[in-house]
Structure 1
Amino acid sequence: MEFYLTVLLQGFCFAGLAFGIYISMKIFNIPDITTDGSYTLGGVVTGAMMVHHQPGYLILPVVIFAGAIAGALTGLIHTKLKINALLAGILVMTALYSVNLTILGRSNLPLLNLPGLFTMLNIVKDVNQNSLIILIGFVLIITFIIGYLLKTDFGIAMRATGNSEAMVRALGVNTDNMKITGLAMANALTALSGYLVVQQQGFADISMGIGIVIIGLGSVIIAETIINWLQVTSVWLSLILVLSGAIIFQSVLAFTLNIGVDPNLLKLVTALFVLIIVGIPRLTGRQI
């Protein structure tokens, strides 16, 4: 039972990351590598503020703001300086390593026994079950906000920018601002995952974001495969499938470790799994 609870906790913690990748890659068609840095940024900001006993109602908006600034910087470099989006993300991600290390003050910061999101309410006695209930409520609120936003005129303009930038520009929409805003949203959501994971695992680490983009990408590809197979057009259902993709991805990784695979090979297994879920639709003629 504890095994499944841990998988669900990890899956829900990475929901923000999956939503962020979904916005940047599937709505705007931008491969945003800023993710590695903004995820860590969310974690180190959370850790630093918790150690200094800052209240939870202050930590959350600061994390969102920090992630949004990181994403907006990538957007500005890409749109205003006309630098390739991939390179812009790499530049910001590289700069964020120094920023994160400065904020954290050291490579690893333990947060055990400090009050946080998962200790705010004691709904049930079991710690993991209590954390899961709080986490589900938190993620559902985020999902509702994103879904509502994507259904507004602004959200429709965002989606249209990714589908046909030239057409949207002809209609008078500032596509550069849309991209900047979209990347800011995506990285704010990614930072939220760092915020959740740090509190769930009990420490912040400067290297926690290395390769994290592959987890978000894998979650989104799983969701996108299901969306294509089922011909889903609903925004709400698409977001639920992205959330499900994050849980499925974590389940596969947890199962891999549970059957005795060397943890040192986990990154290799992750890469192979993503390769498989990308390759199967292409081999069967149903491209993502």
Structure 2
Amino acid sequence: MDLVISTVSQGLLWALLAIGVYLTFRVLDIADLTVEGSFPLGAATAATLLTAGYHPIAAILTACVAGMLGGVVTGILCTKLKIPALLAGILTMIALYSVNLRIMGKANLPLLQQDTIFTIWQFSGLDKGMTTLVIGAIIVLIVAVLNYWFFGTEIGAAVRATGNNPHMIRANGINTDAMVVLGLLLSNGLVAMSGALVAQSNGFADVGMGVGTIVIGLASVIIGEVLFGTRSFKNCLISVILGSIVYRAVIAVVLQMGMPPNDLKLFTAILVAIALSLPLIQARFNTLRKAVKK
């Protein structure tokens, strides 16, 4: 039971990362590698503020703002300097590695003696695992509702339309460059918030904790879409959140089966490759089945 609670709570904390990746990968149709720098940026910012005596909520919100700034930098490189989106994300990610070291002052910053959002709000009668689960569920619910509301507004619809058909939305007088920057801002803000929460949950921030986060986010998005569907934007948000939990459950199962932790990145990459190829596999299977019937 403790393993189930820990898995679900971690899945909820990482769900913010998955939502952020979904906003760029599906909504904007951009493969944004900035997340590998903005995730540890959120962790570094929150950890530094906590060790300086700031309130955990202030640390999380500041981490979110820092991630937004990282997204804006990628957006400016992409839209104003006309650098390809993939390369712009890589450049920002590399720059943020040095920024994160500057913020923390060292490669690893422990939080074992610091109050976090999970200790100051520990509910009566609940252990740390259940408290993390409850707080994570509340935060993810608030973020999902706010995203659903925002992308139903005129500006949010313009961001979604920019990813679907930039030529059409540009013909309607919408500044697509501004929409791309806004989408990257929101995405990396959520990713940095996820990093801040994960750092507080794990009890440390590390400059290398962002390695592979883009693959984790993609795995959550793809698994959620395959298992739970994409009928509407609301359904997509729910699918991404559940996909993050399922991904964490899969990782927990393979670890229990004896897989070495060093092989997790390889396993995740294979899992994402299989998930991405499922539509093709399904189409070929259907074609083969129709041929057999004939």
Whether 1:168 aligns to 2:169 is yes
AA matched with 2:209: M
CA RMSD in angstroms, aligned pairs only: 1.2
Q: Secondary structure at the match of 1:191?
A: helix
Give the whole-Å Cα distance in 2 for the aligned partners of 1:109 and 1:151: 40
Shift of 1:153: 1.1
Shift of 1:78: 0.4
Partner in structure 2 of residue 209 of structure 1: 210
Partner in structure 2 of residue 224 of structure 1: 225
Q: Deviations over 1:10-69 (max 9, x none)?
A: 101111110111100100111000010000000000111111111134212211110000
Give the whole-Å Cα distance in 2 for the aligned partners of 1:278 and 1:29: 15
Kept in 2, the 8 Å contact 1:40–1:207? The answer is yes
Partner in structure 2 of residue 129 of structure 1: 130
Give the whole-Å Cα distance in 2 for the aligned partners of 1:167 and 1:127: 50
Shift of 1:98: 0.2
Q: Greater shift after overlay, 125-134 or 24-33? A: 125-134
Shift of 1:125: 3.0
Kept in 2, the 8 Å contact 1:151–1:235? The answer is no
AA matched with 1:85: A
Report the identity percentage.
41
AA matched with 2:80: K
Shift of 1:164: 0.5
Whether 1:75 aligns to 2:75 is yes
Shift of 1:226: 3.6
Give the whole-Å Cα distance in 2 for the aligned partners of 1:39 and 1:69: 12
Q: Deviations over 1:132-191 (max 9, x none)?
A: 111111111111111111111111111111110000000000000000010010000000
Once the two structures are superposed, the pairs formed by residues 106-121 of structure 1 within 5 Å of their partners are: 106-121=106-121
Partner in structure 2 of residue 42 of structure 1: 42
Whether 1:66 aligns to 2:62 is no
Kept in 1, the 8 Å contact 2:57–2:117? The answer is no
Partner in structure 2 of residue 139 of structure 1: 140
Give the whole-Å Cα distance in 2 for the aligned partners of 1:125 and 1:58: 24
Q: Deviations over 1:219-250 (max 9, x none)?
A: 111122245xx4x4322221011100101111
Residue 271 of structure 1: which of 269, 272, 294 is its match? Answer: 269
- TM-score of the superposed pair, with normalisation by structure 2: 0.93
Whether 1:154 aligns to 2:155 is yes
* Structure 1 runs not aligned, ≥5 long: none
AA matched with 1:100: N
Kept in 2, the 8 Å contact 1:39–1:193? The answer is yes
Residue 279 of structure 2: which of 275, 278, 281 is its match? Answer: 281
Kept in 1, the 8 Å contact 2:68–2:188? The answer is yes
Whether 1:253 aligns to 2:254 is no
Whether 1:31 aligns to 2:31 is yes
- TM-score of the superposed pair, with normalisation by structure 1: 0.95
Partner in structure 1 of residue 179 of structure 2: 178
Q: Deviations over 1:59-94 (max 9, x none)?
A: 122111100000010010000001100000000000
Give the whole-Å Cα distance in 1 for the aligned partners of 2:57 and 2:193: 14
AA matched with 1:26: R
Kept in 2, the 8 Å contact 1:101–1:206? The answer is yes
AA matched with 1:147: Y
Kept in 1, the 8 Å contact 2:15–2:241? The answer is yes
Kept in 1, the 8 Å contact 2:162–2:169? The answer is yes
Give the whole-Å Cα distance in 2 for the aligned partners of 1:275 and 1:122: 39
* Structure 2 runs not aligned, ≥5 long: 285-294
AA matched with 1:73: V
Give the whole-Å Cα distance in 2 for the aligned partners of 1:284 and 1:32: 28
Which of structures 1 and 2 has the bigger CA Rg?
A: 2
Kept in 2, the 8 Å contact 1:110–1:202? The answer is yes
Kept in 1, the 8 Å contact 2:46–2:56? The answer is no
Partner in structure 2 of residue 56 of structure 1: 56
AA matched with 1:78: C
Shift of 1:266: 1.1
Runs of 4+ in 1 over 4 A off after TM superposition: none
